[in-house]
Amino acid sequence: MFIKIRRDTLIILLLAFILILCGRLITYVAFASSDEINDGIPISGIIIKGNDIVPVDTIRYNVMQAGFRDGSVIYGDILKTSKREVSLQDAIRSAQEFATRSTVPGTSVEPISTADVQVDKNTGVVTVTVIEDFSSVELKNKTSGGTG
Amino acid sequence: MNLKIFKVSIVILFVFLLTMSSVAATCNIIVITDPSGKDPNGAAAGSMSFADNMFQSTFMMSKVNHFAVLSGGSGSSDTRLDSVIEAVASLSNNASAASAASIASNYQGARLITGGPSIGAAVGGSFDAYVITVNDASHEIKVTPYSSGVATLQPGEKGAIIHLRNTNGNPLYGTADSVRKDTAMNIGKMIRDGYPATTILSEAMGQVANQSGEKYGGGGVNLVSGISTDDMFTPKEMNETGYPMDEEYSKVCDDCGWAMGYPAAEAHDKCPVCGANIKTVYAFEALGDALTVSSNAVSVSAYGSDKPGLAETTTEVVEAAVAKYGYDSSAIANSINRAINNGLLMGVDHVEPKDINVKQGSKAVGVYYNALPGDRSSPSWDLPIDGNILNILGSIQTAVGIILILLVVFRSRLLKSFQNR
């Protein structure tokens, strides 16, 4: 032995170790059993309804650009994203606008005429309902030629 | 007189050359093997070409109304797009396949193939197509060539339409006529022999890609189940070609399920996991695999959380539960809760039977999750003691432990100071 340690010292050290360990364990159990939320509601997912030809991923990507993405948190009426803080109403309005800008992949066709965005403030679920209308699509005539 | 004939022949040659140069692109195929719409693989369609820019707009599909619009032709991309949109709009308003396909003739050089399991199929505009019909009772295959007007496959009939032309610059230029005929015959035989439409589409696209060189995706759709190959084979950038459908796409190990895509897969000859022989999957086979739905498959949707991997694991768990207990929402909820307790599913709260939406008729199961707040990975424990009390208790214990260590470290000095008093 390098250091002379009396046996009772060792026992007390062991006791202290066990005490700290149990203390940390109980703190963890306290965390695991509490379901209080004190740091806002995170955006948990986007549900998209009503789309037909426009893929879900395109609409989801556009709605995420408005701030409703993983890592964004709702504090009351404020949406805090990784980039900035905006009011929830503004974010919903821009999400609706961005959703209507969704295109058919590989084209500039924007068939979504109206989009409705609902945010559940308790669960963080964003529900996007869109209406596709191909009869009202307007195409800007570009003069580029090409074959397909 | 001779001069006149010469002039006429010159004019004819000129017109011929003109039409040649405007001939472009695209192989379009639509196959319907089950007009009743019951077989999940009963109708499929696909497009590919030697040319650039075969984006998803060349094989559009409506998942709700079960129709597809394939397009191509030599017009500008804008006119083609215009015709596609008009066709989609009219099909959404219950127009017939033939009337939707005839829209193409209003646009310079455009071609449309429209169809669905219940509405039949039709091709219109500028095309060179074969219409294949198979009589259910007599097993008679009829293959008819069309190149103008509107050619239709009547609603309720088993059959297919294939359009194929060669693109300028294709090294296999001039093969289109014979390949179109061969492929049409093969499609007819496969329909007669009872293969599902998705398999037939994949084989036909493989044959066309191999023999006529119109091989760049493009992609395909399964009209009954609403599955598209999306961007599996389409070009990554404007003015590029897509994935060649006759080349290797991935390598798969049948024993353990290992798989890797090209070009990385080229380095592997044996399965790196279990050492078994691996199978090379060509792009047209990958298209068939992606579109084909196996009859006992369950379509599972997970809502409420976008956590990575959640949807995939949920699908596995639900498939296992359905195979074991059938379409029972409480049994499925039990299985999911067990998976959550095991740590298989992370970041979501326990589900109740009411959160499971079961549609036995369409073999679909929807699971509505509640995501857990913050960075939690598993649901909170249900303990009889309040969390705050435990928190205080734990902190006190930790503090006492640290004080004890301090006491031991300074033991001799403390004892001495007590003795000195």
Q: Is A42 on the interface with B (CB under 8 A)?
A: yes
Average pLDDT over residues A29-54: 81
- Binary contact (A19, B71; C-beta < 8 A): no
Q: Which two tokens stand for residue B325?
A: 């207990």
The predicted-structure confidence for B160-182, as pLDDT tens digits, reads as follows 999 999 888 888 898 999 999 99
Contact list in B for residue A139 (CB cut-off 8 A) is: 78, 81-82, 85
SS3 A44: coil
Contact list in A for residue B396 (CB cut-off 8 A) is: 23
Note whether B324 and B317 are within 8 A (CB): no
Neighbour-count burial of B65, counting CB atoms closer than 10 A to its CB (0-12 exposed, 13-18 middle, 19+ buried): middle
Stretch 330-369 of chain B: residues touching chain A, C-beta under 8 Å: 369
The predicted-structure confidence for B230-265, as pLDDT tens digits, reads as follows 888 998 888 888 999 999 999 888 777 788 888 888
Question: Looking at chain B, which residue has its C-alpha nearest residue A119?
Answer: B304
Euclidean distance between CA atoms B32 and B131, whole angstroms? 12
Distance to chain A for B4, nearest Cα, Å: 36
The predicted-structure confidence for B280-299, as pLDDT tens digits, reads as follows 999 999 999 889 987 667 88
Distance to chain B for A137, nearest Cα, Å: 8
Q: Is B398 on the interface with A (CB under 8 A)?
A: yes
Question: Looking at chain B, which residue has its C-alpha nearest residue A70?
Answer: B306
Note whether A64 and A79 are within 8 A (CB): no
The predicted-structure confidence for B111-122, as pLDDT tens digits, reads as follows 999 999 999 999
Euclidean distance between CA atoms B268 and B395, whole angstroms? 55
Question: Looking at chain B, which residue has its C-alpha nearest residue A6?
Answer: B408
Neighbour-count burial of A4, counting CB atoms closer than 10 A to its CB (0-12 exposed, 13-18 middle, 19+ buried): exposed
Which site among B26, B70, B408 would you substitute to test the A interface, given the most A Cβ atoms closer than 10 Å to its Cβ? Answer: B408
Stretch 109-168 of chain B: residues touching chain A, C-beta under 8 Å: 167
Euclidean distance between CA atoms B306 and B376, whole angstroms? 15
ipTM of predicted complex: 0.70
SS3 A73: strand
Which residue did the predictor score with more confidence, B77 or A130?
A130
Model-wide pTM > 0.80: no
Distance to chain A for B175, nearest Cα, Å: 19
Angle, helices B411-420 vs B387-409, to 10°: value is 70
Helices (H), chain A: 7-33, 56-65, 88-100
Q: What's the distance, Cα to Cα, between the start and end of chain A in Å?
A: 84
pLDDT higher than 50, residue B47: yes
pLDDT band at B203 (very low <50, low <70, confident <90, very high): very high
The predicted-structure confidence for B80-135, as pLDDT tens digits, reads as follows 888 888 999 999 888 999 999 999 998 888 899 999 999 999 999 989 999 999 99
Q: CA dist B279 to B199, B206, B253, B288, B354, Å?
A: 18, 17, 6, 15, 43
Among B25, B76, B390, whose Cβ lies nearest the Cβ of A145?
B76
Q: Is A10 on the interface with B (CB under 8 A)?
A: no
